[in-house]
Amino acid sequence: MEEQHKNILQRNRTGLVRDLDPTNLYDALLEKGVFTHDMIDELRIAGTRRDQARQLVRDLETRGSRAFPLFLECLRETGQQALAELLQIGVPTVQVHPATPTEVVRPVVEPLPVISPIDVDKHRIDPVPVHPVQRPTITPSPPPEKEYFRPRPEGRTRRDSLQSYKMEANPCGHCLIINNVDFEPQSELSNRRGSNVDCEKLESRFKALNFIVKVKTNLKERQIKHELSALSKKDHSQLDCCVVIMLSHGTEVSHSRFPGAVYGVDGKHVTVQNITLYLNGHNCPSLQGKPKLFFIQACGGDERDTGFEVSPDEVHPSSGGEDDQTDAIPTSSSSDSLSLSDEIDARTSLPTPSDILVSYSTFPGYVSWRDTQAGSWYVETLDRILQENAATDDLVTMLVMVNHEVSQNSAKGLYKQMPGSFNFLRKLFYFQVST
């Protein structure tokens, strides 16, 4: 797209986000070749009308020199003449000539070749877990629900002033595990030895926690989206929770909410942000107000953390050996923030990302280590912490335990790893544990 047209879109972003009706534009944009089917699908699940409008304007800037005049045509054809005239002010009339029958396709971000024998995945992670502040405000929607409190375990001090999520359904919810091990040669991604160990541990653990577990292996990018879409269309009304676990290579991508992306075995990635969108309150109504948990074993970048010196009383024995590998792919782009011209969307009910927790195996920009025999540091530690503490501790507390233990490990006697999470839960979360 020409620079002057980009400037016009950016200058009018606030008005477009406020007034644009994206759903009426999708067929016209597809017919004129401005967007592809995949791009339209991603726009449809982007959230509210304003979220979709905001994403549409961003994507439009990447679509070539004919995108702007064709967009104006689409606005006029769908009765949004006022917006078309607003964007046309000060711009010479553009004549759109019939396009040659060449499909306009979205640029595909190809992973760089893996040079070393080390598997690597990328995920950007926020270094500081986000904990929503509990305030005594009244939310108009959804209607008030019965509050659930767990009895205080003997010998334990608990923050019982905080409410906990209802976890009484039998089974308590669905758990989807996507385990990508063997990557297609053209993807130029190495196979992930040791990932089956992770998968078996997590399948067994979440079955023990009373989840309906479904494991899918070696999925391409479109198959990952299909499985997530199928999960979002299930009726979760009689269930209390939903879990998605991704075991794959990863990379760092631009984002506005959740960083990182995971690769399909075909070398095409799905962003973590889009993974969470399938199950948010907008796209999966039967999970509204219920906890949605995402566990990502993949790298947040290609940097290797060598750690820093600490006092002797902070030093603990560390594990890790010659077979440790990483799950990172070189960065495809840096993260960015929302435009300053974007308006804040007022909500009269729960925010769309609420009741979501995304746990990442590593810190933003850094690799995630995996032993080819014992599995990844993160999953091995997470499984053990759940086994030992799920009966007494809430999830966030257990993830802090995981963070601490993984941080004590060293790969090849040098490299470190720091897990983290994005926490948008509104209450304490306790797993069901059989007595």
Domains recognised in the chain with CATH numbers: 3-88 (1.10.533.10), 173-308+316-424 (3.40.50.1460)
Q: What string of pLDDT tens digits covers the 435 residues of the chain?
A: 788 888 888 888 888 888 899 888 998 898 888 998 878 888 888 778 888 888 898 888 888 888 898 999 999 998 898 888 888 875 555 454 554 554 555 555 555 555 443 444 444 444 445 455 454 444 454 444 444 445 545 544 444 456 899 999 999 999 999 999 999 999 999 898 889 999 999 999 999 999 999 999 999 999 999 999 999 999 999 999 999 999 999 888 776 678 889 999 999 999 999 999 999 888 999 999 999 999 999 864 444 333 333 334 444 444 454 444 444 444 333 333 333 333 333 333 455 568 999 999 886 556 666 677 767 889 999 999 999 999 999 999 999 999 888 888 655 455 767 888 999 999 999 999 876
The residues near 374 (Cβ < 8 Å, ≥ 6 apart) are 194, 197, 380
Q: What percent of the chain has pLDDT over 90?
A: 35
CA dist 238 and 301 (Å) reads 39
pLDDT at 54 (0 to 100): 86
CA dist 120 and 300 (Å) reads 9
- Rounded to the nearest 10 degrees, the angle between the axes of helix 395-407 and helix 377-389 is 140
Closest CA to 287 of 237, 230, 352, 214: 237
Active site residues: 249, 299
Place of tokens 């009484």: 168
pLDDT at 310 (0 to 100): 36
- Residue 67 CA neighbour count, 13 Å, CB half: 24
pTM: 0.61
pLDDT at 318 (0 to 100): 45
CA dist 333 and 189 (Å) reads 18
Q: Which is it for strands 420-424 and 356-360: parallel, antiparallel or unpaired? A: antiparallel
The residues near 53 (Cβ < 8 Å, ≥ 6 apart) are 16, 17, 20, 21, 22
pLDDT at 55 (0 to 100): 86
Q: pLDDT tens for residues 330-362?
A: 433 333 333 333 333 333 345 556 899 999 988
- Residue count (the chain): 435
